[in-house]
Amino acid sequence: MSSLAVQAQFEAALTPMGAEMVGALGVEAQVAFGELTLVAPRERIVEVLTALRDQFEFQQCLDVCGADYPDREERFEVVYHLLSMTKNARVRVKVVTDEVQPVPTAVEVYPSAGWFEREAYDMYGMIFAGHPDMRRLLTDYGFEGHPLRKDFPMTGYVEVRYDEEQKRVVYEPVKLTQEFRTFDFLSPWEGAEYPAPVLPGDEKAGVKG
């Protein structure tokens, strides 16, 4: 069976499930690329996740991640990936938020969400209300900013390393081995269009004799 046929088979099974969830939970549903995606209101996320666990048998929370769309009024999407082992099915649940509006934590529904929410807070700055330990998880102590935001600067800050002599973590200005440059790898014989004259001797190209 081809991959497209398998995808169509999954979508055929997920479509009625998505319709049932829309009726029971009052969420939006979409089936695409062999996956079911629900869009839930931010303030109802705990209620929706609880129903998916108890009523629809999605026993595991595999991941809580994020996406950043800086042009939107609410720039972040918090994305939950759930697995049903009894139905052999997965569902994705999305809510939207911004830097200020907190999302209710899912720790009481899925304890595994605790670390994932801390990672989303660290990387994106998403806030999860009611989380028992809302601290950074991946970046260093005193780190400023959120590295996975689209507007996070790539250069111009400090780098961190462990200093063996001082026996502690130190911050230093970023040191680049060479500055960013624009390289032109085309040679004059490969059709590069340079304004004439550029190379020594070009002025003789049109001279006869």
- DSSP letters along 76-87, please? EEEEEEEEETTT
User: pLDDT of 105-118, one tens digit each?
Assistant: 999 999 999 999 99
Question: HSE of 61 in the Cβ direction (CA atoms, 13 Å)?
Answer: 25
Q: What is the DSSP letter of 2?
A: -
Picking from 41, 44, 21, 23, the residue whose alpha carbon sits closest to that of residue 31 is 21
Of the pLDDT bands very low, low, confident and very high (cuts 50, 70, 90), residue 125 is very high
Mean pLDDT of the region 132-155: 85
Residue 189: what pLDDT?
Answer: 57
Mean pLDDT of the region 186-205: 59
Give the Cβ contact number of residue 17 at 10 Å: 17
Residue 17: what pLDDT?
Answer: 83
Residue 158's alpha-carbon distances to 70, 114, 147, in angstroms, are 24, 29, 13
User: pLDDT of 29-51, one tens digit each?
Assistant: 888 777 889 999 999 999 999 99
Of the pLDDT bands very low, low, confident and very high (cuts 50, 70, 90), residue 139 is confident
Residue 48's alpha-carbon distances to 58, 93, 107, 157, in angstroms, are 11, 9, 13, 41
- Percent of the chain exceeding pLDDT 70 equals 75
Picking from 115, 104, 117, 57, the residue whose alpha carbon sits closest to that of residue 82 is 57
pLDDT at 98 over 90: yes
Residue type, 27: V
Reported pTM: 0.72
Q: Rounded distance, CA 62 to CA 89, Å?
A: 12
Residues composing the chain: 209
User: pLDDT of 9-34, one tens digit each?
Assistant: 666 667 788 888 988 899 998 887 77
Q: Rounded distance, CA 24 to CA 169, Å?
A: 52
Residue 158: what pLDDT?
Answer: 73
Residue 74: what pLDDT?
Answer: 95
159: which 2 tokens? Answer: 């780098």
Residue 172: what pLDDT?
Answer: 81
